[in-house]
Structure 1
């Protein structure tokens, strides 16, 4: 059988889903006569490699070696005109693995093998969930890895390229590109520029770490009054305290010149949280000679939260009322204030465990939005039983 006939036979084996047999024959023939392979034969050979050693890999080293071989045998196809490409699919498989393991330093080698211009923007909808296109995933992986590897300028460049070239963004990915730009600008001591990007981020994401980022930039700019406002917002979110460890350290730094007593409560809580998690204690915390046996974490949290609640509402009028309705299974209810107005509240705004109908309370109000009525409304916050 001549080489052309053998290649056709191997293609038939592949088309019959006999991938292992197909790959064995492709490897044998390629080792004997590589010059007999045209581009179509090489692509078929690469598909066999992909099916056997990449798609459902069990050995990471084999995955890397197989993908390396594929990228040597064929070029990256333009997925704007072609539906499939073993080159792209394989490199993406490697990147998925490295990203999942947070091996950011190893990603740049594989990212450099992809030309984003040749990646498509087709997004798949599976069971009602929209998934990123390959082009968007490339920019996500690339910008994240550059940020984690402290390549600030490169991160900014990639994020701007993504914002300029992508036509659609999945799960607010455009916000994450702006977030990474802001983080990079802060590291480059361009804090005023960082704040401009953070303002865009805040329109979409009001998470504690966004407020913390504002506070850090204002602190660096010696605008500590503004920094305190954002620390306040960050601390008063309902997120678990254990993920806010560094926030409490930042609060300590800024408050130390204003109120040393409450500042020290923050650093004590930071210390307790680090001990609790088994994290390494920085020298500056060790030097404070904090005795964790003398501290009560819950008491510290309550004291700190009360301080920031008072700080937040210090120039606002306190209201009084009665809990009129409370739906325990849904953790929300309504308060009737002294003006006979019904104000919505959520359980997590109560400064205490007990909530019951008829309870006298003090509270403040903030603007909210009633989705059921499609109109602006008020909600009660910082609620205390009287």
Structure 2
């Protein structure tokens, strides 16, 4: 026994006092001189005072004296998390030591509500999928970690996060996180049947999706169907993601590839146009441009084929990527080979807009106001309806845009994250002279 009423001290929140008592007691605790119950007060007090390394020292002593007891395992896991895992630094963290600590927590976790097990598994798998814990992503190991968790035992209730600026954001539930990571692992391991099955389970089992993440489960399912050769089934499911509120270039890239497999050249170019114009991170889409080269050449669009081929080669050189052989029986003309990148991009952009805008309806309106940040505003369209817009969606005349400017635009539905509802937004905006 310690001779101190640790329970009373703890109830009085005198954690610092208890920590001081531990400093006096720990030198004589290599035998069972301290009760297992007192260890709990010492451990919890050290943790509350953020003495995480000392928590680990205490746990070693406790585990030596009471090897059969697990009452401190969870707090030990949280202490390991605080000392070794929480402040991950891509350049300084010892990756092998990190994974060693994770494995130790896995072997010594409990199934209590206070266990760090789920958080640590999710944190570790996310780092693994980003390639932060090794020279290459170990999808098999990440999958194995996730398999240690039963999704039915996870909460399906979304959380909330306050960013300190009085803005509260909804965050995914633990179950949604698990399904997301699991389906990503299946897709990357080329376990396409499993990916389809578990995406369907997620769509069936989850009662709520944060920020319309259900669209990404549908995307992964369609991509898995396409990659395993079920192109017809993938094409049938495409409207589920193309008509949704999530816009991303990878969705359009997948749609274009599926339409190419179905020999629908018009839609191949339509979705390629949406993909290419999504933002100015052109290097991300280099595989899309490469895929279009033989399609365009076979359609008789020889100049566009050459422009895409030359643009692809430029991106490869700029990023120091190994140039892949084209294996084509034609070469780029000398004129296009000597064109500056900006001129190639200008001509390609015009073609991409033509593809994207086929059969599209445009509206006319007047800029009602630009908000103080200068990054967004409102356009009043026909029937006095106001449409929110972001400055990044102004494609022509951005430098001349001001309140009262006459514009041409089309619309799409986007999620208003603050109001958590879908609203019609103005996009593809051009300032008219």
TM-score class, shorter-chain normalisation, is 0.7 to 0.9
The structure-2 alpha-carbon separation of the partners of 1:65 and 1:217, relative to structure 1 and needing over 3 Å to count, comes to same
TM-score w.r.t. structure 1 length? 0.76
Aligned to 2:59: 26
Aligned to 1:97: 127
2:165 is aligned with 1:132: no
2:250 is aligned with 1:212: no
Shift of 1:179: 0.7
Aligned to 2:146: 111
Shift of 1:199: 1.4
Residue 158 of structure 2 aligns to a residue whose secondary structure is coil
Higher RCO, 1 or 2 (CA under 8 Å, sep at least 6)? 2
Query: Is contact 1:343-1:380 (8 Å) kept?
Result: no
Shift of 1:30: 2.9
Shift of 1:111: 1.4
Alpha-carbon separation, structure 1, partners of 2:130 and 2:359: 47
List gaps (5 residues or longer) in structure 1. Answer: none
List gaps (5 residues or longer) in structure 2. Answer: 1-28, 163-167, 417-421
How many residues matched?
371
1:230-271 CA distances to partner (integer Å, 9 max, x unpaired)?
223333444443333222222222211122122211211122
Alpha-carbon separation, structure 2, partners of 1:305 and 1:253: 19
Aligned to 2:346: 302
Matches within 5 A, 1:334-373: 355=400, 366=410
Residue 16 of structure 1 aligns to a residue whose secondary structure is helix
Query: Is contact 1:211-1:230 (8 Å) kept?
Result: yes
Query: Is contact 2:56-2:80 (8 Å) kept?
Result: yes
Aligned to 1:14: 43
2:118 is aligned with 1:88: yes
Alpha-carbon separation, structure 1, partners of 2:76 and 2:246: 47
The structure-2 alpha-carbon separation of the partners of 1:367 and 1:131, relative to structure 1 and needing over 3 Å to count, comes to closer
Residue 71 of structure 2 aligns to a residue whose secondary structure is helix
Alpha-carbon separation, structure 2, partners of 1:187 and 1:310: 29
The structure-2 alpha-carbon separation of the partners of 1:326 and 1:257, relative to structure 1 and needing over 3 Å to count, comes to farther
Alpha-carbon separation, structure 1, partners of 2:319 and 2:356: 30
2:255 is aligned with 1:255: no
Aligned equivalent of 2:276, options 223, 226, 235: 235
Question: 281-290 or 193-202: which moved more?
Answer: 281-290
TM-score w.r.t. structure 2 length? 0.69
Alpha-carbon separation, structure 2, partners of 1:194 and 1:314: 23
Shift of 1:283: 0.9
Alpha-carbon separation, structure 2, partners of 1:271 and 1:175: 33
Q: CA RMSD in A?
A: 4.4
